[in-house]
Amino acid sequence: MSAHPTRSPAPGKHLCVIEKGQKPDHSCPKDAVTAEIGRQIVFDAAVLDTFDVKGFQSLHYDLLVLCAAIEFADRRWKRPQSWSRTFDVVVPVIDLKIWQRQDVTDSLQSALRHLTCDNWRFTFVQAKNLSPVGSRQIPLDFGKTKTFAIAYSDGLDSQAVSALSGERDEALCVRVTSSHQHRKNGDSYFTQIPFKVEGYQSNESSFRSRGFQFAAITAVAAHLSNVSRIVVPESGQGALGPVLLPLHNIYADYRNHPTFFRKMERFINAALGHRLQFKQPRLWFTKGETLRAFLDLPGKTAGDLTSTRSCWQTRRVVNVGDRKQCGLCAACLLRRLSLHAAGVDETPATYVLWDLSGSDVNKALSIIPQKADRDVMVKYGSVGVRHLQHLADMAELPDGALRVHVSEIAAATGATNQETLKNLRTLLVTHAKEWRAFLSAQGEQSFLKSWMDGGRYGRSE
């Protein structure tokens, strides 16, 4: 039974997770889509070994199954034009009493609603199988007590902020990725995502629930390591920009926003009984400022930054000659802007599209053989340029126009409205200065400027 009464399920958006070898029971409507553990939800035994440590609880395994169920539902059903969907999800759990508690279900639904703008209703049922991990109870030992956890990627922010937050051997680096990646010298990675979700037909690409997955898995690692501080590496443009300037007809992206992390803290405390804090030490700094601060640390060089990766594009696009970054997607543009602000030069071989100074983007992209791929590059690049420009334009807005955002951020961070407004204004002004300098460096004929003036995919379209 669910923890509290729910409305009738929405047609076509009812998911039942079933255990390996089991069949749907009376808790699953006849028209429900099923996801079987072992088929659609596949746990990787090799990855689970990293969870098989002293202190691992069946409750942790329940949370991993829940993460997989949420991913399946989120990607299985395409969003309507109105964006929001309603899900009814049945999940088998081992610690049923905990998952049926009102504070757990309420905080879970609140976090997911804020993150995805969907309505999530859960029915938790008693699992018949025990957790497949935790049997060996290996001590989790990284040689030195960790003082903070950080969701670690190959990106600029992860590299810089992990170093700025403490000594290398103090950081519990949680590699939240779907595939195995090699460790860099000196890094202590806890794990990657221990499951794969298949069979959802890739109907929906927004995958907003990924933020919940990242935060939950990092929280499990932090709990097992007795760490109460999780460092969120995102700098100000990436954390606040998607909420300050949501794309047209798309719900604001709260994945790195303080309001989402306060909701996740309440959920983790309710479900795991572990009080932790998601800290955002670079919230009020641009990525460029973060990179400059990193370079000021003893022994840090530009080479530590240029070895990172930021690009969003598919392998087919970036495997031109050699694996590169595309150079034009929003992530690449923010990367290039920030490295420019930090005074770091990259080589032309870093990007498929290195030269941004030309007036004809199609000519610049001629190295990419498929027209469809070139069109995608132009589409996402023009959106990224407009976003960075509009964020710079916000520096000129009167205080009243920022009041709603200031109030929301202040409430989530515990700061005063006056202090938050000052910090936000400084962030926007610094971003505007860095953006103007980057555009100037591309020259007056750059197609980037034509996009801002109403060119292809510009404001007039």
Percent of the chain scoring above 90 in pLDDT: 60
Q: For residue 230, give the 3-state DSSP assignment.
A: strand
Q: For residue 122, give the 3-state DSSP assignment.
A: strand
Structure pTM? 0.90
Q: For residue 41, give the 3-state DSSP assignment.
A: strand
Is pLDDT at 314 greater than 70 in this prediction?
A: no
Average pLDDT over residues 427-444: 97
Q: What is the pLDDT of residue 138?
A: 59
Q: How many whole angstroms separate alpha carbon 101 and alpha carbon 115? A: 22
Residue intervals of the chain classified under CATH 3.40.50.620 are: 148-279
Is pLDDT at 41 greater than 60 in this prediction?
A: yes
* b/e 222-255 (16+ beta carbons within 10 angstroms → b): bbbbebebbbbbbbbbbbbbbbbbeeeeebebbb
Convert the pLDDT of each residue in 43-64 to its tens digit: 887 777 777 777 888 999 999 9
Q: Locate tokens 């060996």: which residue?
A: 136
Confidence of residue 24 (pLDDT cuts 50, 70, 90): confident
Lowest mean pLDDT among 18-32, 59-73, 407-421: 18-32
Percent of the chain scoring above 70 in pLDDT: 87
Q: Find out whether 89 and 6 touch, Cβ atoms under 8 Å.
A: no
Please state the CATH superfamily assignment of the domain spanning residues 148-279 in this structure: HUPs (3.40.50.620)
